[in-house]
Amino acid sequence: MTTLTDQEFLRYSRHLLIPEVGLSGQEKLKASSALIIGTGGLGSPISLYLAAAGIGRIGLVDYDVVDSSNLQRQIIHSEETLGKLKVDSARARMLGLNPFIQVDAYNEPFTAENAMQIATGYDIIIDGTDNFPTRYLSNDVAAFLGIPNVYGSIYQFDGQASVFDAKNGPCYRCLFPAPPPPHLVPSCGDGGVLGILAGTIGSIQATEAIKMLLGIGSSLLGRLLLYNALDMTFDYVNLKKNPKCPVCGENPTITELIDYEAFCGVPGHHTEEWPSEWDVSALQLKEMLGAPSKPILLDVREPHERQISDLPNSVNIPYGELASRLSELNTAQEIVIFCRTGNRSLHAIEILLGAGFRKLKNLEGGINEWAEDVDTSLPIY
């Protein structure tokens, strides 16, 4: 006996017409559940399309609030939900799209302490995060629960997607046994991302999730999809299960969740706590610039960012070029490093310290804080 209502028959009629889905497949989707980690760029299309497809129960994990800078790519949110919790904003939009589903919101970071409790009972995990600690955590949780993990990643014009399933193929650790060094990890917050790229990769993740739940087609299990939006190219890398994988190998050494922030050397969620010994606020920098002995202002942003906002008399050495251009700086001078929000500049301090520089300060909050607290004529971006 069908579990679809008359309203659902009409709603899902285009699915019912597809032989690979049909009535039994739509009932299967209604009986399925999916946990989405992140309701940002990737989580937006994933959430919308899984809701529209009729996945019976969808879990959303996030702890952030909607900001205007999100709306360039996080299409599940809107001007009306600025300042609201992302999980609440996303949940309302999903139920507005399809009131016949259940959406469970978890307004908290996904951590080793709560991940198993949150994820237990779901049929699949879909990783829409933007940091390595949570990616490794999502992978390990899926492996321990014996469920698939649909992976996606975006940066500027490049995207990746795959399906990891420790029971039937490689997991994320088979591909990336160890995270890259923290100072080499780019982020969308530092390097930017083409907004629609999130839609492309997120839609691919949603497609893979639905195929896995239905048991149809050939998934990305064992393949890593590489997409470049600028060239409009799709490439694939074949993946194999690593017999020495610490999680899903023949002799696993990781059998329970670990400290993923320590493992990756970076925070798994946003934090505003930087080492206080390097910090200088925008107001403090203003006072320093008014003193007879002024510090050197080192801008480690990309040149095109200086067209948006700039500090007078600053020296521009992009972060990626800093190590090869240290000779342009003087170790005897006091240097205040800044970027957009204070992240790249903090990593720049690590490079300079390693080269023997000691008179260093980091502009906390970057030029955006300067624009907010000192020169309000500058745009915040």
Active site residues: 188, 339
Residue type, 51: A
Sign of CA dihedral 361, 362, 368, 372: negative
DSSP run (H or E) holding 188: helix 188-191
Beta-strand runs (E) in the chain? 33-37, 57-62, 102-107, 124-127, 149-155, 158-164, 223-228, 233-238, 279-280, 296-299, 315-316, 335-338, 360-363
Q: Answer whether 252's CB lies under 8 Å from 245's CB.
A: yes
CA 296 to chain CA centroid, nearest Å: 34
- For residues 25 and 15, the answer to whether their CB atoms sit within 8 Å is yes
Distances (CA, A) of 323 to 101, 183, 317, 358, 366: 52, 12, 10, 16, 20
Name residue 208's amino acid: E
Gap between the Cα atoms of 253 and 243, Å rounded: 12
User: How much of the chain is helix, strand and coil, in % rounded to 5?
Assistant: 40, 20, 45
How many residues in the chain?
Answer: 381
3-state secondary structure of 79: helix
Strand partners, 246: none
